[in-house]
Amino acid sequence: MSFKKVLVRISLPVFVGLIAGISNLADAQVLSGTVVSEGKGLPLASITLPGQKLHTIADSSGKFIIDQPLNGKIRLLVSAVGYEGFDTSFNNYENGNDLLISLRSKTAMNDEVVISATMKAVSKTASPILVEVYSPLFFKKNPTPNIFEGLQMVNGVQPQLNCNVCNTGDIHINGMEGPYTMVLIDGMPIVSSLATVYGLSGIPNSMVKRIEIVKGPASTLYGSEAVGGLINIITRDALTAEKWRLDVSGTRAGEWNADISSAYKLKKLQGLFAVNYFNYQQRRDINRDNFTDLALQQRVSVFNKWNLPVSGSINSSLALRYIYENRWGGELQWQPEFRGSDSIYGESILTKRAELISTTSFGNALFVDLSGNVHRQESYYGKVKYFATQQVAFAQLRWNKKIKDHDLLAGIPLRYTFYDDNTSGTAGPGGANKPEKSFLPGIFLQDEVEIAKNLVMLAGMRYDRNATHGNIFTPRLGFKYASGSNSTLRLSTGNGYRVVNLFTEDHAALTGAREVVIASALKPEQSWNANASYSGFFRHSKGFINIDLSAFYTFFSNKIVADYFTDATKIIYDNLNGYAISKGITLNADVNFTNGLKMMAGLTWMDVYQVDKTAEGRKIKTPQLFAPAFSGTFSASYLLKKQRLMIDVTGRINGPMYLPVVPDDYRDPRSPLYGILNLQFTKNIGSKTEIYAGVKNLLNFIPSNPLLHPDDPFNKPGGKYFDIAGQPRSDTNPYGYTFDPSYNYASMQGVKLFAGLRVLIK
C-alpha cells in the first residue's frame, strides 16, 4: 500500500504482541480502533474482516468495535466514500488494543492520472484541460466485446454505425463526424484512415487500463485529425497487471467473446500477454428483409507488452498486437463462393493488421516514442472489389523540464503514411499505380505556468509541414482556477486541423472509374474551439456528489468536399465555401452513497450544422446528420453486501437526429426519440471469481426500414425496379430508388440475454 501513501499506525502493544507471537485467541474478543483522515475522525467508514465474515461501520467520530471471536490470520479492509482504501493482514490481535487507521482523501475520479491533456502524467484535478477518464470497471457495468461498443455509455460520445450490411462505424464527439475524432493508443496515432472503419471494433477490453477523452481540438500536441476531439486508449501495464485474468461471455443471439491475459516475468523482463477471441455466426433477420441484422464476424486479437529496465534511469516498454478479422453481411443465402459475384448480395471484408508501440524514457526529462502499423483489407461490396494497404510510421522525441514556476514540454514528431488500393484513388497518369505517400514532420512547445496561488495558465504552439497544405500552425491557450479543494474552473481555446485523406473523405468515390484530382491550393480543415467548464465535489452525510459542467463552441472552416459534377470523368476535392458550427452544453454527475448505491448520469444538448455559401451569396444551413439535439447516458449500481451481489442498470437516450434520406424518400428524415436500457447482475464467488448475467436492450427497440430496396441490392437492369436499359420503372420504382444501406441510427439487435464468467488471480 506504500504507493498509495496510506499511513497506518498501530499502537506499540500490538507490535509487541505480534513480535512475541501471541497465540490465536479462541475466545470472544473486541477489535476496536479509529479511522481518521488528516487527524480528524472519519464517520461512516466501512470496516470488513472478509476471512471472518464480519463487518461494521464507524460512528460519527470514526470509532468502531467488532465484538466477535477472531481466529488465525486476520485480514482487515477499511474503506470510505471519497477516500483511498486500506488493506492489511496480521496473524494475531491482542484484545483491548485500539488500531489507528489513517486514510488519504481523494476526489472521486479526480485523482486519476491522465496524460492526454498535456502529454504528461498529472492528476485529473491538476490538469488545466478537462479530461474525462473511464476505467474498465465503468465498462463492466454493461460488458461489450470491444471498445467501440463500450463507448456508447459515454456522454457526448456516439459510436455510429454507417452501414447496415457490413457494420462499418466511426466515433462522433459532440456531434462531429468520425474523421474529426483522433483515436490514440498509448498516446500514438495508431488508429487512423483505413483502420477507423473496422479497426475500432478490433480493440478488446482486455488490453485497456483506462480511456481518456478530450472534447475539443488537440492538434497542438497531437497534430492532424484531432479537430473535434481525441480518445486515448491507455493499455495495461505488465508491472501492475494481474497474474491471470479470464473473461468469457455469450449472448442468446449467438455472440461469443473470450478475453484471457497473463502477467509474467523473465529475469528483468516483465511481460503481459493477452488474447481476445470473438465469434458471431448466427444469421438473424428480425425485420424479415432477407438481410443479416448484424454482420457475422470471427476475430482474433493477440497483444503482448514488455517492460524492460535498460540501465540505471533508462526504461523501455514495447507492445506488439496482431488482429485478424473475417466478417460479412448480406442476404441470408449468401455463401463464400458468392464473394464478388452479382447473384447473391454480400459484403465480405477480410482484415489483417499488425501494430508496434514503444516508449523509452531517459530519466524524467527525455522520451522517445515509436509506433508503426500495417493494415491490409481485402473486401468485396457486392460485386465491387476493394483491396487496400496502409502503413503508418510514427516517431517522436519529447523533452519535459520544470524551471521554477514553468513546466516546459517540447517535442519533434514525424508521421509517415503509405496508402495504396486497387481504385482510381491511387491511379497515376495513364492508369499506372501511384500509391499515396505523405510525410508530416512538426515541432511543438508548451508551457504550463503557475501565475498565482490557485491560477495556472497553459500555452502551446505547434508547427507542421505538409506537402499538400504547406505550413500549418496550431496554437492553444488554457486557464485553470482552483477555488479551494473542491471546485475548479477551466477556460480554454485552441485550434485543430486535418489534412486530406482520400479514404476518409469518401470511400464510395474510390470504387468508381473517375480520376481523383486534388485542388492545388487545398487548405487543411481548421477548427477553433472555446470551452468553459466547472468541476465540483460535494460531500454529504451519506456520500458525495461529483459534477462536471461544460459549454463548448467550435467553428470549422475549409471543410474538404468532393465535386462530382464539374467533370464527369473526375472527382475534384476542394475546400467548401462555408463553415460548420458545433455548440452545446454537457453535464456529468456522479453520486455515491455509503449504503452501496452509486449513480452516474450525463446529458448533452448540442446544435451542429453546416452553412454553404452559394455563388449568388446566399447561405444555406444544413443540419449535421447523426447529431441528436440532445442525448443522455445513465447508470445505477447497488451492492447487496451480504449476498455479494451487484445490480447494474445502464442506458442511453438519443433525441431525434437527421438521417441520410434520398429524394422523395418515404422514410422519416429524422429518427424517433428512443432509449436503450440494460440490466446486469454480478455475483462474487470467493475472492477470485464472479459470474454475471443480464439483458441488453430491455425495451426491445428496433429501428425501422434500415435498407432501401433490399429485394434488389444489385439494381439489376430488367429486374423488378429497373428496365432493360437500367432506367427506373414507372410502375414499380417511380421515384428512382436504388439500394441504400446508410439509413441507420441504432443497432438491429433486439432484446437479448447474456451471461459470463470472470476469474482474477493476483
HEC string of 407-444?
EEEEEEEEEEEEEEECCHHHECHHHCECCEEEEEEEEE
pLDDT given at position 653? 96
pLDDT given at position 82? 64
Model pTM greater than 0.85? Answer: no
Amino acid code (one letter) for 143: P
3-class secondary-structure state, position 14:
helix
Looking at the domain that runs over 113-235, which CATH code has it been given? Answer: 2.170.130.10
Query: Cα separation of 171 and 50, whole Å?
Result: 43
pLDDT given at position 199? 62
pLDDT given at position 94? 57
Which residues are CB-contacts of 99 (< 8 A; sequence separation ≥ 6)? 10, 11, 14, 31, 32, 33, 34, 76
Where exactly does CATH 2.40.170.20 map onto the chain? 244-514+524-706+741-761
Looking at the domain that runs over 244-514+524-706+741-761, which CATH code has it been given? Answer: 2.40.170.20
pLDDT given at position 746? 86
Q: How far apart are the first and last CA of the chain?
A: 15
- Residues 336, 346 contacting (CB under 8 angstroms): no
Which residues are CB-contacts of 624 (< 8 A; sequence separation ≥ 6)? 175, 176, 177, 580, 582, 608, 609, 610, 658
Q: Which fold has domain 2-102?
A: Immunoglobulin-like (2.60.40)
Q: Which residues of the chain have pLDDT under 70?
A: 1-29, 38-39, 71-72, 81-82, 91-97, 104-114, 116-117, 120, 123, 192-200, 484-485, 500-516, 520, 562-565, 567-569, 571
pLDDT given at position 137? 85
Amino acid code (one letter) for 457: M
Supply 490's cell numbers: 477551466
Where exactly does CATH 2.170.130.10 map onto the chain? 113-235
Query: Cα separation of 581 and 530, whole Å?
Result: 12
195: Cα within 13 Å, side-chain hemisphere: 28
pLDDT given at position 272? 92
pLDDT given at position 655? 95
Alpha helices in 254-328 (DSSP H): none
Where exactly does CATH 2.60.40.10 map onto the chain? 2-102
Supply 622's cell numbers: 444544413
Query: Cα separation of 358 and 317, whole Å?
Result: 5
415 C-beta neighbours (distance < 10 Å), count: 21
Query: Cα separation of 592 and 598, whole Å?
Result: 4
Query: Cα separation of 477 and 459, whole Å?
Result: 5
pLDDT digit string, tens, across residues 388-431: 899 999 999 999 998 988 999 999 999 999 988 887 777 777 77
Pairing of strands 752-761, 40-41: unpaired
Which residues are CB-contacts of 159 (< 8 A; sequence separation ≥ 6)? 148, 149, 151, 152, 169, 170, 171, 172, 200
pLDDT digit string, tens, across residues 468-488: 778 889 999 999 998 866 789
